[in-house]
Amino acid sequence: MIRGICCAGVVCLAWVGCSLALATQPVPEVVLGTNAQSAYSSERKPREQLGVLSHVDCVFSHIPYQSNIIFEPWRRAQQEVRVGQIDGFFTAMEDVDIEPFATLSDPLVLQKWYWFTRADAEKATQPARLRKGAILGSHQQLWFEANGDSAYLSAQDLPQLIKLLYSGRIDAILADRAHFEKAAAALEISPDRYRAQFDRYVPLGVYFGNDFLAGHRDFHTQFNQHIHLCVPQRFALTATEQDAITQLLQTQIDALLHQQALLHRLRIHGASKPLSDELIQRQDSQWRARYRNGQQTELLALMDAELLGVIRAWRAENPLVSEIIVMGTQGLTLAATPVTSDYWQGDEAKFQQGAAMPAGHWFFDEVSYDQSARRFQVQVSVPVITESEHLGVLTLGVDIENVLHKRY
């Protein structure tokens, strides 16, 4: 629900002074409910110590709206959004029961859920069936309940859950990996005393009421467009996750990099006269237009047919890879499966960082979420280098959740 002007007694998260608002025009206020609290302690933390709150504050500082944050239980916040008493709630995971009355924003947080068990216990093939615990009001508790699972023991915070684990009262904890590791370290529990098994990635955002969005049609787009400015560390893979990808795919990727057909075609393209910047931009514009118009046949005809055959055959044998792009030394798309949305990749990190890597090294981009496929992917870029030549860059889209399920 929208309330008039920012003034005394109302939290103004955009940090716009009341005098300025009154001097210009009313700034709409967006009322949001949250139960955000620390996973490490049951004590309420100051807002500056709660990362997601700072993300929300930051987004609102970039758009012509102000937010009023109300701390309340999840169920109350959801019900108040349903009946229009407040405008949204966070931080929320995707929930089909909420979609009829609210719309989820792009992710503000990406949690990495793992099952944690004691290292001295037998490894469980189905840890969800063990005696488990969850933090009261946590996303894990909501997940259990949404799936009709009430067989869990609750606690106020992760340290309490960990103590229950080592006292033998529960056998498993489902938690964000970073949260668990921090809490375990605070309790002086070393990593060799617990086992981690990957479960899923969980993107968390803000659910905004559909009634509110209907009255402010530009809001959702503006909010999503400014999230990237406010999450200081985008969804990067940990060293452990990068190692998991490397261990599973290095042999296959090395084999692709040494295919003579691939090297031969890249040498031919490399020997061609470089295109001017003007021509590259014109061809890129034409490519984008064809992509928008769904002209797949025309785009395929612009690619190197032999290269396309090589990468399609390789991808068919490597289901963990969802896309492959072959780029020449100027960053032009020579072959791709599926078809890419642009022709020139030279201004993107995947080409620039991949080209700068020495032979045998990989560049891992940020984790991205495909909402239509509900799949998490990370692009891995590797240079194509022979003993005497730098021939281009190969970028592969890797289904990171499948990799982690195979690794853990």
* CA 42/CA 136 separation, integer angstroms: 9
Q: Side by side, which strands form the sheet with 363-370? A: 333-337, 321-327, 390-399, 375-385, 363-370
Alpha-carbon distance 294 to 204, whole Å?
Answer: 32
What gap in Å lies between CA 50 and CA 81, rounded to an integer?
23
Higher pLDDT, 371 or 81: 81
Contact 189, 166 (CB under 8 A): yes
Q: Where do we find the tokens 């668990």?
A: 180
Highest mean pLDDT among 110-114, 168-172, 237-241: 168-172
**Residue % of the chain over a pLDDT of 70:** 88
The reply to whether domains 111-201 and 239-407 share a CATH topology is no
- By 3-state DSSP, what share of the chain in percent is helix, strand and coil, each rounded to 5? 40, 25, 35
Highest mean pLDDT among 10-14, 111-115, 385-389 belongs to 111-115
The token pair at 374 is 């509900």
Reported as type and span, the H/E element at residue 381 is strand 375-385
> Which pLDDT value is given to residue 51?
66
Provide mean pLDDT across the span 364-386.
84
CATH of 111-201, one of 3.40.190.10, 3.90.1150.10, 3.40.630.10, 3.40.50.460: 3.40.190.10
DSSP 70-96: EE--HHHHHHHHHTTSSSEEEEEE--T
CA nearest neighbour of 13 among 71, 77, 72, 56:
56
Surface-to-core class of residue 287, CB atoms within 10 Å of its CB (0-12 exposed, 13-18 middle, 19+ buried): buried
Residue among 111, 12, 31 nearest 70 (CA): 31
Mean pLDDT of 103-114: 91
Axis-axis angle for helices 305-316, 260-271 (nearest 10): 150
Question: pTM for the whole thing?
Answer: 0.75
As given in the structure block, the two tokens for residue 209 are 């009421």
Count of positions (residues) in the chain:
408
Q: Note the pLDDT tens digit of each residue in 24-55.
A: 568 899 999 997 655 555 444 444 445 688 88
**Local confidence band at 5 (pLDDT 50, 70, 90 cut-offs):** very low
Q: What is the mean pLDDT of the chain?
A: 87
pLDDT at 384: 96
Residue 64 CB partners (closer than 8 Å, separation 6+)? 27, 28, 222
Q: What pLDDT, in 10s, does the model give residues 305-356?
A: 999 999 999 999 999 999 999 999 999 999 999 999 999 999 999 999 999 9
**Residue 103 three-state SS:** strand
Q: For residues 307 and 263, give the distance between their C-alpha atoms in angstroms, rounded to a whole number.
A: 9
Q: In angstroms, rounded to a whole number, what is the distance separating the alpha carbons of residues 53 and 32?
A: 11
Alpha helices (runs of H) in 91-204, residue ranges in sequence order? 139-146, 158-166, 177-186
The pLDDT assigned to 348 comes to: 93
Tokens found for residue 131 = 């005696």
User: Residue 164: pLDDT above 70?
Assistant: yes
Whether CATH 3.30.450.20 fits 239-407 = yes
DSSP string of 56-69, one letter each residue: HHHHHHTSS-EEEE
- Which CATH code for domain 2-110+203-229? 3.40.190.10
Omega before 26 cis (within 30°)?
no
Weakest-pLDDT range from 17-31, 81-95, 163-177, 189-203 = 17-31
What CA–CA distances, in Å, run from 351 to 57, 158, 229, 279, 382? 34, 41, 22, 19, 9
* Sequence spans of domains, the chain: 2-110+203-229, 111-201, 239-407
In the chain, what is the straight-line distance between the N-terminal and C-terminal CA atoms, in Å?
45
Q: What is the pLDDT of residues 218-228, one digit of tens each?
A: 999 999 999 98
pLDDT per residue over 190-205, tens digit each?
999 999 999 999 989 9
Would the pLDDT of 10 be above 70?
A: no
| 368, pLDDT greater than 50 | yes
pLDDT for residue 343: 95
